[in-house]
C-alpha cells in the first residue's frame, strides 16, 4: 500500500470539494419550471410529503424528510421495501410522494409507483436521468444529474448524493419561505434546542431567585467582599426598601481596591455602585435578555416584576446552557 504525502491528501480533498461545488453550480443553473411545480404542488397539498428511496438515496431521503419536517413541511421517510410489504397503508390520498433514485431504475422504488399512481398521489422524482423509468412515470421530475462522482473510482455515490441533499435543502428553504415559517415556529418544533430554549423560556424560568445578595447603601467594604463571595453571582444588589439603588460587581470591588488602596476599607457600597443598573421583566423571553446583555455589554441583568420590584438575577451563563 502506497503511503500518501500530505500534499497528495490535500489535493484529493480539494479535488473532491471542487468537483462537488461545480456540480452544484451546474444544477443551480438548470433549476426552472419543474422545481417551481414541485414547490407549488407540495404547498397546495393537504397531506404530508412522504420521502422514499433505497440505499444511499434512502439515507439522503431520511435527511431531507427530517429537514422538511423541522422547517414547516409535514414529512416523513417511508422505506420502499417496507412499503411494498404492507406499509403502503401509510400513504393517504392527500399526500405527495418524493422518490429518490439517482439511476431512476431502483427496483424497490419502481415497485411502489403503480400504487402511487392508482392512489391518485402526485409523484415527484429526483433522479440523475430524465429519461429513466422513474422520471418518465413521475408527475414532476427534479434533475440532479452530475458530470462525475468525486470518488476516484467513479463508483461510490459522492457528488450524486451531495446533489440530492442540496436539492432537498433548496426545496425545504423555498417551502419554508413560502409558508412564512419564523424563528418562533422553528423554536416550537425544537423546544430542546438552544434556539428553542431562548425563544420559548422566560427570564423567570431560569433566573436565580433564592438567597439574593442584597445589601444596604452603607454596606461596608468588608461586608461587600463577603456578600459577593457567598452570593455566587459576582455582584451584590443595593436596595432601599423595594427600590433598586444600584449594583456592585466583583470587578468594581477589585478596581476600587487598586485605586483606593489604604482607604478602600472606609468606603461603602454606594460609593462604587453602578446606579440604575440594567433590568428586565421576569416574563421576558431569554432571547430578549441575551439581546439586552449584548447591547449593553453586560453579563447580568436584574429581573423585576411589573411593579419594578427585584425578583431575581439572570446571567449570560443561564441563557447559554
Classify residue 191: in a domain, yes or no. Answer: no
Handedness of CA 18, 23, 25, 26 (dihedral sign): positive
Q: What's the pLDDT tens digit per position in 36-72?
A: 999 999 999 999 999 999 999 999 999 999 999 988 8
215 and 287 co-located in one domain: yes
Classify residue 46: in a domain, yes or no. Answer: yes
**Which of the listed residues 149, 181, 213 is the one where a domain comes to its end?**
181
User: What DSSP line would sit under 166-231, residue for residue?
Assistant: HHHHHHHHHHHHHTT--HHHHHHH-TTSHHHHHHH-BHHHH-B-SS--EE-TT-BHHHHHHHHHHH
Give residue 259's domain range.
Answer: 202-319
156 and 266 co-located in one domain: no
147 and 296 co-located in one domain: no
Q: Where are the beta strands (DSSP E) in the chain?
A: 49-53, 75-77, 96-100, 122-127, 140-143, 214-215, 235-240, 243-249, 274-275, 279-281, 300-304, 310-315
303 and 255 co-located in one domain: yes
CA distance readout (Å), 146 to 17, 31, 279: 14, 14, 56
20 and 110 co-located in one domain: yes
144 touches 127 (CB < 8 A): yes
Classify residue 242: in a domain, yes or no. Answer: yes
CATH code of the domain in which 247 resides: 3.10.580.10
208 and 161 co-located in one domain: no
216 and 101 co-located in one domain: no
Helix (H, G, I), strand (E, B) or coil at 281: strand
**Which of the listed residues 181, 211, 236 is the one where a domain comes to its end?**
181
Q: What's the pLDDT tens digit per position in 112-165?
A: 999 999 999 999 999 999 999 999 999 999 999 999 999 988 888 999 999 999
Classify residue 63: in a domain, yes or no. Answer: yes
pLDDT tens over the chain, length 321 residues: 578 899 999 999 999 999 999 999 999 999 999 999 999 999 999 999 999 999 999 999 999 999 999 888 999 999 999 888 878 888 999 999 999 999 999 999 999 999 999 999 999 999 999 999 999 999 999 999 999 999 988 888 999 999 999 999 999 999 999 999 877 677 666 555 566 667 778 999 989 998 899 999 999 999 999 999 888 888 999 999 999 999 999 889 999 998 888 889 899 999 999 998 999 999 998 888 889 988 988 889 999 999 999 999 998 888 865
Which residue do the cell numbers 429513466 mark? 132
The number of distinct structural domains making up the chain is: 2
pTM, to two decimals? 0.67
172 and 226 co-located in one domain: no
Give the single-character DSSP code of 282.
T
Amino acid at each position: 500500500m502506497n503511503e500518501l504525502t500530505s500534499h497528495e491528501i490535500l489535493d484529493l480533498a480539494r479535488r473532491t470539494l471542487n468537483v462537488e461545488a461545480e456540480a452544484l453550480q451546474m444544477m443551480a443553473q438548470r433549476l426552472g419550471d419543474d422545481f417551481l411545480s414541485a414547490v407549488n404542488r407540495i404547498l397546495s397539498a393537504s397531506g404530508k410529503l412522504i420521502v422514499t428511496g433505497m440505499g444511499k438515496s434512502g439515507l439522503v431521503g431520511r435527511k431531507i424528510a427530517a429537514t422538511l419536517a423541522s422547517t414547516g413541511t409535514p414529512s416523513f421517510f417511508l422505506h420502499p421495501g417496507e412499503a411494498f410489504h404492507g406499509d403502503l397503508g401509510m400513504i393517504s390520498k392527500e399526500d405527495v410522494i418524493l422518490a429518490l433514485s439517482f439511476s431512476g431504475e431502483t427496483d424497490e422504488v419502481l415497485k411502489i409507483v403503480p400504487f402511487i399512481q392508482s392512489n391518485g398521489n402526485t409523484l415527484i422524482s429526483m433522479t440523475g436521468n430524465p429519461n429513466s423509468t422513474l422520471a418518465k412515470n413521475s408527475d414532476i421530475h427534479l434533475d440532479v444529474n452530475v458530470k462525475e462522482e468525486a470518488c476516484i473510482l467513479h463508483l461510490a455515490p459522492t457528488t450524486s448524493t451531495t446533489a440530492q441533499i442540496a436539492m432537498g435543502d433548496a426545496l425545504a428553504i423555498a417551502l419554508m419561505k413560502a409558508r412564512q415559517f419564523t424563528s418562533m415556529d422553528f423554536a416550537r418544533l425544537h423546544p430542546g434546542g438552544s434556539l428553542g430554549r431562548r425563544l420559548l423560556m422566560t427570564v423567570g424560568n431560569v433566573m436565580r431567585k433564592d438567597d439574593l445578595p442584597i445589601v444596604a447603601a452603607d454596606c461596608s467594604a468588608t461586608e461587600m467582599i463577603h456578600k459577593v463571595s457567598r452570593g455566587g453571582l459576582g455582584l451584590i444588589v443595593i436596595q432601599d426598601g423595594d427600590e433598586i439603588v444600584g449594583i456592585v460587581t466583583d470587578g468594581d470591588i477589585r478596581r476600587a481596591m487598586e485605586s483606593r488602596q489604604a482607604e478602600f476599607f472606609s468606603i461603602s457600597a454606594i460609593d462604587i455602585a453602578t446606579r440604575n443598573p440594567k433590568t428586565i421583566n421576569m416574563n421576558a423571553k431569554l432571547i430578549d435578555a441575551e439581546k439586552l446583555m449584548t447591547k449593553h455589554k453586560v453579563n447580568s441583568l436584574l429581573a423585576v416584576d411589573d411593579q419594578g420590584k427585584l425578583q431575581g438575577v439572570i446571567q449570560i451563563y443561564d441563557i447559554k446552557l
